[in-house]
Structures are given as C-alpha cells and as structure tokens.
Amino acid sequence: MSAQPPADAGAVLAALGEAGATVAVAESLTGGLLAAAFVAVPGASRSFRGSVTAYATELKGTVLGVDAGLLAARGAVDPQVAAEMAEGVRRLMGADYGVATTGVAGPEPQDGQPVGTVHLAVAGPEGLSLSSLRLSAGRATIRRRTVEAALELLGEAVWNQRVRTTGPTGNRTSDAPGSSSVHTANTRGGAMDTAQSEHDRAPRT
C-alpha cells in the first residue's frame, strides 16, 4: 500500500482496483471534466461506473435525489447539496464511492455565492468526506482545480478506508467514531485557497 493517499486519476483508479471498489461521479460546475479524467486512464472501466452531469439545479433533485426543500432554501452551491449528490450518484449507479462537485466557476456569482466557491463530497463505505474551497484565477482554472481537489478527496477516502481495514502492516485497525480533520491554507499556483474537510466515519445503516 502506498505511504500516502493517491492524488491523480490514474493512482486513484489503481487504489480502487486494489481495493476491489468502484466509483461514480455527479458533476455540476466541472461539467464532465472529472469523469473525463477517469476515462482518460486505460482500463478505467474496471473501477469507474459512470457519471451524471446535473448542471441544472432541478436535475440535482429529480435525477440525484437531492432534497427539493434544501435546493429551494440554499440553492445548488451548498455543502449539504454536494453530500446528497454524492450519496445519490453512489446509490443510482451501485458504486462503492460517489463523488460530487458543485460550485461557482464564474463569471458571475450564483445563489448569493461568490465566484470560486466550491463544495465537494465523497460518499463511501465509512460515510462522508466534505471539502469546501475558495478558488481564484478564472473559470477554466477553477474547474480544473476542482477536479484536482475532488481526486485528492477521493484518494484520501480510499486510502483511509484501506488503512482502517488492514493497517500499514496488514493488521485490522479502527478509528474512533466522529473523528474529523480540518485543512487550511492550501497554496497552489501562487493563489491562496482554503479547504475544510469533515470525515464522518460512523457505520452506514
């Protein structure tokens, strides 16, 4: 097992393959870029189930099952919306992991949120991983960096699941429920971004 989480599409797919796990994605602002990153990798079909590009707000509800009241109250750019998108695509496609992206790539604000606001979610066997970002540097760059961040978040979830299951030396390990982590001040390309991740490791019911 790698000493650190995989952070690119090829490495994430390799980790999923080693774990015998699959992934599906639900995209909004990235518009298919995350799915394209996966399918660019030869042999992706072993672990990549498919994707939904729910660009219109109402499709997040009708296709992915995001609560209509939540969408009406908060709009599409919200961490809980990302969480429900990830859960929805995981359920819809029968995948072990669901990944979701929602946010504002620009050029105008949306739902009262400024350009560069991004929310990501990964739904997996152990629960949810959430990340909220503030990105800058233009529409294309925001979308590209969102894909990179989504791959990192998924890679961490897969890696952490394997560590919890086998441990670094092959012994089964466990984490205390309700543990969380916070990441701040991620600097890329000279621009300062902030990200907060919460990991709910309570078993699914």
In a domain, 17, yes or no: yes
What phi and psi values does residue 75 have, to the nearest 5 degrees? 85, -175
> CB neighbours of 136 closer than 8 A, spacing ≥ 6?
116, 142, 191, 193
Q: What is the pTM of this model?
A: 0.82
> CB neighbours of 133 closer than 8 A, spacing ≥ 6?
103, 116, 117, 118, 119, 120, 145, 146, 149, 193, 194, 195
In a domain, 1, yes or no: no
Show pLDDT as tens, one digit a residue, over the chain (205 residues): 567 899 899 999 999 999 999 999 999 999 999 999 999 999 999 999 999 999 999 999 999 999 999 999 999 999 999 999 999 999 999 999 999 999 999 999 999 999 999 999 999 999 999 999 999 989 999 999 999 999 999 999 999 987 776 654 443 333 333 333 333 223 233 333 444 443 333 333 3
The answer to whether 143 touches 30, Cβ cutoff 8 Å, is: yes
In a domain, 185, yes or no: yes
In a domain, 4, yes or no: no
Instruction: Provide the number of structural domains found in the chain.
Output: 1
In a domain, 70, yes or no: yes
| Separate counts of helices (H) and strands (E) for the chain | 6, 8
User: What domain range is 41 assigned to?
Assistant: 9-200
202 token code pair: 């309570």
Question: What pLDDT, on the 0 to 100 scale, is given for residue 169?
Answer: 41
Question: What pLDDT, on the 0 to 100 scale, is given for residue 2?
Answer: 61
CATH for 169: 3.90.950.20
Peptide linkage before 107 cis (omega within 30 of 0): yes
